[in-house]
């Protein structure tokens, strides 16, 4: 992954407001190249610079990295969650 791609992904993620989320696929679409898996790789390597927990799977599943702390961070921000612990994308999505 080149530095421009990493910077573009991090910029999109940094723009996601508190209490809202986006998906890996939506980030990839905005950046305009590569796919959701590559976005995940960028966040795995460089995500500590941004609000990585605000990027979820297409079904609303929060990231499971960092010992599952993403769900707690989403809750702390007041992100709309479903009873099963997934994000309600209809309420909190982009």
Helices 3-14, 36-46: axis angle to 10 degrees equals: 90
Residue 29 lies in a domain: yes
Domain holding 70, by residue range, is: 3-82
Residue 52 lies in a domain: yes
Q: What is the pTM of this model?
A: 0.93
Residue 72 lies in a domain: yes
Residue 94 lies in a domain: no
List phi, psi (to 5°) of 34: 65, -170
Residue 93 lies in a domain: no
Number of domains in the chain: 1
C-alpha closest to that of 94 among 60, 45, 50: 60
Residue 71 lies in a domain: yes
State pLDDT tens for residues 53-84: 999 999 999 988 877 789 999 999 999 999 99
State pLDDT tens for residues 28-59: 999 999 999 999 999 999 999 899 999 999 99
We report the CATH number of the domain holding residue 63 as 1.10.10.10
CB contact burial 31-65 (16+ within 10 A = b; e otherwise): beebebebbbebbeebbeebbbbbbbbeebebbee
In this prediction, residue 66 carries a pLDDT of 75
pLDDT band at 94 (very low <50, low <70, confident <90, very high): low
């Amino acid at each position: 992954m080149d530095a421009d791609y990493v910077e573009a992904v991090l910029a999109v993620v940094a723009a996601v407001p508190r209490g809202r989320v986006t998906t890996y696929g939506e980030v990839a679409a905005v950046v305009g190249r590569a796919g959701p898996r590559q976005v995940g790789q960028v966040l795995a390597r460089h995500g500590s610079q941004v609000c990585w927990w605000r990027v979820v799977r297409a079904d609303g599943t929060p990231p499971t990295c960092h010992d599952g702390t993403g769900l707690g961070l989403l809750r702390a921000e007041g992100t709309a969650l479903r009873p099963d612990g997934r994000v309600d994308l209809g309420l909190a999505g982009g």
